[in-house]
């Protein structure tokens, strides 16, 4: 897995309050998650599972995406139509809808 430069940039793991900055940050997160699962050839996401995986936790720089942060990213993916909740009420698991990232 080749990580994007953002993955080693500590602010990547804090959801940014500035809306312009946050937009860029979420774009990067979305493509990271899609690429990650594309390489693993897995299309279902378990929230707690990926929260503790390497994807959301960069041990080298000791930064971890928070649960709220992860939901912000997943909701963004949902909004752009790349993801669907299996259980929209509890939001524990979801499916990636394969289509090319624009």
Partner 1 sequence: TGRHRGIMGIERSIQQKQKATDSNITQSFQDLSKLIEKAKDMVALSKTIATKIKDKQGDITEDETVKFKSYLLSMGIPNPVTRETHGTGDKYNTELAKELSKALMNPLKESGGIMTLTDVYCRVNRARGMELLSPEDLINACEMLEILRLPLRLKTFDSGVMVLQLQSHDEEQIIKDTTKTVEEHQSMTSEELSQNAGISVILAKERLLLTEKVGGVCRDESVEGLRFYPNLFLTKCS
* Using rule CB under 8 A, residue 58 touches partner 1: no
Q: Closest Cα to residue 28, out of 42, 15, 45, 47?
A: 15
Q: Indicate the residue among 56 and 96 with the shorter CB distance to partner 1.
A: 56
* Using rule CB under 8 A, residue 10 touches partner 1: yes
* Using rule CB under 8 A, residue 16 touches partner 1: yes
Q: Closest Cα to residue 53, out of 43, 65, 69?
A: 65
* Using rule CB under 8 A, residue 57 touches partner 1: no
Give me the helix-helix angle, 67-79 and 19-40, nearest 10°: 80
Which spans of this chain sit near partner 1 (rule: CB under 8 A)? Answer: 5-6, 9-11, 13-14, 16-18, 20-21, 24-25, 28, 62-63
């Amino acid at each position: 897995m080749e990580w994007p430069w953002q993955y080693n940039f500590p602010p990547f793991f804090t959801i940014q309050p500035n809306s312009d900055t946050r937009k860029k940050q979420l774009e990067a997160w979305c493509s990271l998650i899609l690429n990650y699962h594309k390489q693993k050839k897995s299309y279902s996401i378990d929230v707690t599972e990926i929260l503790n995986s390497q994807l959301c936790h960069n041990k080298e720089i000791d930064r971890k995406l928070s649960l709220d942060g992860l939901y912000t990213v997943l909701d963004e993916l949902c909004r752009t139509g790349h993801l669907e909740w299996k259980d929209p009420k509890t939001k524990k698991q979801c499916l990636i809808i394969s289509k090319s990232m624009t």
